[in-house]
Amino acid sequence: KRKMPTYNGTINSKLPRVGTTIFTVMSRLAAEHNAINLSQGFPDFDCAPELRALVTKYINSGLNQYPPMAGVAPLREAIAAKNETLYGIRYDVEQEITVVPGATYGIYTAVAAMIRPGDEVILFEPTYDSYAPAVEVHGGVPVYVQLRYPDYSIDWQAVQAAITPRTKLLIINTPNNPTATVMSSEDMRMLEGLLRGTDIAVISDEVYEHIVFDGHQHQSVTRFPGLAERSFLVSSFGKTYSVTGWKMGYVAAPKELMAEFRKVHQFNAFVANGPFQYAFAEFMNNPDAYLQLGAFYQKKRDFFLEGLKGSRFKPLPSRGTFFQNLAYDAISDEKDTDLAVRLTREHGVASIPVSVFYRQPPAHRVLRFCFAKSETTLAKGAEILSRL
Ligand code: PMP
Ligand code: GLN
């Protein structure tokens, strides 16, 4: 066989600072060292058997060709019904909902539809890792607003100061990865007020919408008319139904924004996987799966925290998502990137160093642990961490 020849042209990278994502790096390291993998966010348990059976049923029934570009009708109807029941808003099934191959794709496509070179996009830092590259690859300019440590609260004056005539978009994420905080209704009203009278659109990453703890209520943009009118709402079936590998989600937006979104989508993925869409449509008829998700993960969070009671790690509040952040000032003054690697190699527990979600490592040092795991795994992880 012939080896691939080398590419000798000049590459002017559109993403010169981007390497491999931390999730890939840490999951690979965990596998190499046979470590407990509390790094990349995914469940270590399987999805509902009924959901697997539905997918099999629809594949076997021959629904294996291109579905409609916006998604199959029963699924769009189920998504509209869910949003109406939970948040009191009715998206138009024909024009305002599009099923997509994952939330990452939905966010990327919304950015592609909205951003021209030089346009500014307001991001909160720490920032989920896919946002800035999506902006930069389209020539957009990320403008960062720092979340205040340790409660990661939003400084609305700083947001106001970040808005310029070039601001086109603002991306929020609640419940938030990696901070595990949730935005309050006051936050949403502040945002609504700040954007009133502007042309700034919002991408609202709500992939953890059903994973909210301690009686907090998820503050979807859809609850606030002044935000709903300018927002791309993005959600992911991967998180809600414990099938992160299936890569499926949806975007909902006012029809004017959705029309632009679909112009890009139809020439990119064009559609999301058909048989899986029929399966989700049927499975969504039973709302228990997502209504019980908060309680399910709260129990896991509490179990993990109980295991860490005697530990020198200091838990930061986790109010949503399936992540628990731990500060380690009492244990080490290593950089979080170094400690995450050392814990994986030497102690067999993998985590995510939160500094990777910043442009410059902040003064405070925190590791993120995913508790979407079986109790056995969480107990083992907590026991190791408690010995440090
Ligand atoms: N946004 C956030 C905040 C996430 O944490 C994730 C994945 N964990 C995604 C988007 C991506 O979701 P998907 O796998 O559906 O692309
Ligand atoms: N969003 C997941 C996390 O935060 C990982 C997704 C990915 O690997 N791209 O861990």
Which ligand 2 atom sits closest to the C-alpha of 207?
Answer: 1
- Starting from the CA of residue 131, give the closest ligand: 1
Residue in 177, 179, 203, 280 to alter for ligand 1 test, most ligand atoms within 8 A of Cβ: 177
Q: Are 206 and 234 in contact (CB under 8 A)?
A: yes
347-384 residues labelled b (16+ CB within 10 A) or e (exposed): bbbbbbbbbbbeeeebeebbbbbbbbbeeebbebbbeb
Whose C-alpha lies nearest to ligand 1, atom 7?
41
Per residue in 134-187, pLDDT (tens digit) is: 999 999 999 999 999 999 999 999 999 999 999 999 999 999 999 999 999 999
In tens digits, the chain (388 residues) has pLDDT values of: 999 999 999 999 999 989 888 999 999 999 999 999 999 999 999 999 999 999 999 999 999 999 999 999 999 999 999 999 999 999 999 999 999 999 999 999 999 999 999 999 999 999 999 999 999 999 999 999 999 999 999 999 999 999 999 999 999 999 999 999 999 999 999 999 999 999 999 999 999 999 999 999 999 999 999 999 999 999 999 999 999 999 999 999 999 999 999 999 999 999 999 999 999 999 999 999 999 999 999 999 999 999 999 999 999 999 999 999 999 999 999 999 999 999 999 999 999 999 999 999 999 999 999 999 999 999 999 999 999 9
> Which of 20, 244, 247 is the pocket-test mutation for ligand 2 (most atoms within 8 Å of CB)?
244
Kindly report the pTM of this predicted structure: 0.97
Asked if residue 37 has its Cβ within 6 Å of ligand 2, the reply is no
Q: Which ligand is nearest to the CA of 321?
A: 1
Name the burial class of residue 330, with classes exposed (0-12), middle (13-18) and buried (19+) by CB atoms within 10 angstroms of its CB: exposed
CA 18–ligand 2 middle distance (angstroms): 16
